[in-house]
Amino acid sequence: MLYELQMTNMTKTLTELFIEHSDITDKEQRHRYGNLYDRWLTGHQPMRILELGVTWHGGGCLLCFAKRFPEARVVGVDITDDKIVEEVRNHPNIDIVIGNAYSVGTVSKVEQKYKTFDLIIDDACHAQTEQLTAFHLWQRFLSPSGLYIIEDIDRGHFESLSYHLGYHNDSFQILLGDKRQTNGLPDSIMLGLKRY
């Protein structure tokens, strides 16, 4: 029965899962990121996923990734787990690491258990300084051909952020998702950096 449930979930897109769990994630209902994730992850089966900043909506994004990729280990980092819902907290493929995503101590805590990730998502603090700090701390964990995604970039910071991240860096292919026209929110830009 569990195998059948996992096979059913594998056929669902992330867009469908984000909609199904819209009470505990804002990735589709607010930002409309689902089709970007579906497109950018086409043909990929990440085995290790890390998301920074997961507590605000209950950790639903972790659950969606665990359902879409049932063989993957999904790790969330946040300063607290007080809003994480029980379904996420008790999922066998999800780990929550309590700590500040911008702290070397938290990086070390994660590094003790995990060496690389195929997908890293920064959905923590949406200020440019912290997004840059997170990238410089966590991108070394990205596996070859892995994808690093920064969500909720404000329109006023995109050019500066992409410049500081090495927009012309030969190590990464830049993927841009601008959902401002779809939802009217100024912070609905998603940047992907795919390692060559």
Torsion from C-alpha of 166, 161, 125, 73, nearest 10 degrees: -30
State residue 100's pLDDT score: 95
DSSP secondary-structure letter at 140? G
State residue 16's pLDDT score: 94
Give residue limits of the domains in the chain: 2-195
Q: What angle do CA 102, 184, 156 make, to 5 degrees?
A: 45
**Alpha-carbon gap, residue 129 to 115, rounded angstroms:** 25
For residue range 96-121, list pLDDT tens digits in order.
999 999 999 999 999 999 999 999 99
Task: Note whether 36 and 62 are within 8 A (CB).
Answer: no
- Specify the pTM: 0.85
- Please tell me which residue, 10 or 48, carries the higher pLDDT value: 48
What is the third-level CATH fold of 2-195? Answer: Rossmann fold (3.40.50)
For residue range 113-161, list pLDDT tens digits in order.
999 999 999 998 877 888 889 998 999 999 998 999 988 776 666 666 6
Note the Cα 39 to chain centre separation in Å: 14
pLDDT at 3 over 50: no
State residue 156's pLDDT score: 63
Q: How many helices (H) and strands (E) does the chain have?
A: 9, 7
